[in-house]
Amino acid sequence: MVRFIEEITKTVEKETGNKSNTDVATAKKKVLQDLIINDGGGLINSWVDSMRACSPTHLKSLMKQSSWLTEHPSALDMFEEILHVSEGKQIVMFLDYDGTLSPIVDDPDRAFMSKKMRRTVRKLANCFPTAIVSGRCREKVYNFVKLTELYYAGSHGMDIKGPEQGGSKYKEDQSLLCQPATEFLPMVDEVYQKLIEKTRLTPGAKVENNKFCVSVHFRRVDEKVL
Which pLDDT tens digit goes with each residue over 110-162? 999 999 999 999 999 998 899 999 999 999 999 999 999 999 999 999 999 99
Which pLDDT tens digit goes with each residue over 173-198? 557 899 999 999 999 999 999 999 99
> Which pLDDT does position 77 carry in this prediction?
82
The SS3 call for residue 177 is: strand
The SS3 call for residue 139 is: helix
Percentage, residues of the chain above pLDDT 90: 48
CA distance 219 to 56: 7
Eight-state DSSP code of residue 98: B
The SS3 call for residue 111 is: coil
Percentage, residues of the chain above pLDDT 70: 67
More confident residue, 51 or 106: 106
Which pLDDT tens digit goes with each residue over 79-117? 788 888 888 888 899 999 999 999 999 899 999 999 999
Identity of the residue numbered 114 = S
Phi and psi (nearest 5°) for 13? -60, -40
Given its phi and psi angles, is residue 89 left (phi above 0), alpha (psi -120 to 50 degrees) or beta?
Answer: beta
Average pLDDT for the chain: 80
Eight-state DSSP code of residue 164: P
CA distance 151 to 175: 11
